[in-house]
Amino acid sequence: MDAGGADPSVRELVARHPALRLHAQDGLLLEDVPLAAIADALGTPAWVYGAGTIRARLAHLRRTFAPTRVHYAVKANDHLAVLRLMAQGGAGADVVSEGEMRRALAAGIAPAHMVFSGTGKTRAELEAALAAGVGQINAESAGEIDMIAAAAAATGRTARVALRINPDVAAGTHDKISTGRAGDKFGIPWGDAAAVYTRAAALAGVEPVGLALHIGSQIVSAAPYRAAWERLRGLTLALRQAGLRVARLDAGGGLGITYRDEAAVAPEALAGALREILGDLEVETMIEPGRWLVAPAGVLLASVVLNKEDGAIVVIDAAMNDLARPAMYGAWHGIVPLDAVAAARPASPRMVAGPVCESSDIFARARPLPPLAANSRVAILDAGAYGAVMSSLYNARPLAPIAMVDGARWTTIRERQPLEAMWAGETIPDFLSG
Ligand code: LLP
């Protein structure tokens, strides 16, 4: 994901994030709350999410794509407070496990506005989804259609099913987050879709309602979307020609953001393409974005533990177990000192490293940053998506606390995990006693 060219400066990074401001005395603010106050209260590492930012981004996307419905991809950030914001803002949910479904229900998202996606839904999950009244199941294989039929029979429900097709389109994103090429594990090859749809229509308890696709994540250009949606259009027309009903099209998620210098396509342009390609088909349309809605609304706060080699290496107290993206995908995240005076000092190239015993536990290499003294603090930007949800307990590091700001207010929405809680479910077997 790292591109060539120069890294943006601290000043440029802040200017590019409407939710952030560097205040001369209070330092870096998220919405109207000094992040230093949250770091003082909760310690570091700590996540902070901006409710106002999430609200505004959801409203923007819904307005831009209307009448297309927005189903928030819960996997990007599944905190109950985030899901409540989605419910209040009129989003449905795209869920991929019973756990995500239960979270979305607990936060107040109506089951009718949920889509259950995923490559390996179990029979138990399918039954749970049907029993809960989930509005749509996106099926990813012919075999899954049979499992859905069996689950429908067992629960006495009718399953409204969309077939997730694999359009064989390269999304032009990182290999590990491309999902729509032939040979990727996702979806039904688009050439097989008509046969599977026909079979599904003949099964009791299964009502095929339409088609779905999702070609990848952090997609920054319109071209792959256009190619995939053209396939969706062609298939819809072919299915109708064959006398089958296609009432819904799920156009996927994947909308990219600017982490470093990516020229991410504007939602307005994508919405225009969607209207142009699918608009005359008289179908209900939906999208399932995750990252775009929440990534820029979150930061990970960290403290500098110490400097090595005259500040060429800055070791912080956040690690790959907290934010896995840099280690996992080579992802670039902006780093901004919380202190305005420190932020303004001349920058030189520094490595920012976490404390975990892995050479991939690096947040930045040769990053132009001002000197970062021990105990000073930084915010790692755009951490609201695929951040806390991907944390692990590696190196017995507990889950970090989470705060939510809303304008000038803030509160803790998850406490730091107590150390003992990490091993609370573990037992030492009797045969090891003595
Ligand atoms: N729908 C389906 C079926 C998906 O698999 C995904 C993401 C989405 C929607 C939402 O995609 P988004 O709008 O957030 O791009 N951990 C990776 C991203 C993995 C995405 C997995 N699927 C990362 O940190 O970049």
Domains present along the chain, CATH in parentheses? 10-50+295-419 (2.40.37.10), 110-289 (3.20.20.10)
Average pLDDT over residues 73-102: 98
Look at residue 185 in the predicted model and tell me its pLDDT.
Answer: 75
Q: Which residue has the tokens 């027309």?
A: 237
**Backbone φ/ψ region at 183: left (φ over 0), alpha (ψ -120 to 50), beta:** left
Give the pLDDT mean for 334-341. Answer: 98
Q: Assess whether pLDDT exceeds 90 at residue 99.
A: yes
Quote the percentage of the chain above a pLDDT of 70: 99
Confidence label for 98 from pLDDT (cuts 50, 70 and 90)? very high
Question: Quick check: CB of 303 below 6 Å from ligand 1?
Answer: no
In the reported structure, the alpha carbon of residue 87 is separated from the centroid of ligand 1 by a whole-number distance in angstroms of: 20
pLDDT level of residue 104 (50, 70, 90 thresholds): very high
- CA-CA distances (angstroms) from residue 392 to 364, 397, 400, 423? 20, 8, 10, 13
Mutate to test the pocket of ligand 1, among 217, 221, 320, 386 (most ligand atoms within 8 A of CB): 217
354 lines ligand 1 (CB under 6 A): no
Q: Which of 186, 291, 293, 389 to mutate to test the pocket of ligand 1 (most atoms within 8 A of CB)?
A: 291
DSSP summary character for residue 178: B
Strands 248-250 and 206-212: parallel
357 is catalytic: yes
pLDDT at 13 over 70: yes
Cα atoms in the Cβ-side hemisphere of radius 13 Å centred on 37: 16
Give the side-chain half-sphere CA count within 13 A for 320: 20
> Given this model, what pLDDT does residue 4 score?
64
For the segment 367-400, what is each residue's pLDDT rounded down to a tens digit?
A: 999 999 999 999 999 999 999 999 999 999 999 9
Whether 173 shows a pLDDT value over 70: the answer reads yes
| Confidence at residue 174, expressed as pLDDT on a 0 to 100 scale | 74
Please, what is the average pLDDT of the chain?
96
Residue nearest to atom 24 of ligand 1 (CA): 386
Instruction: State the average pLDDT over residues 10-16.
Output: 96
Q: Does residue 177 line the site of ligand 1, with CB under 6 A?
A: yes
Question: What SS3 class is residue 357?
Answer: coil
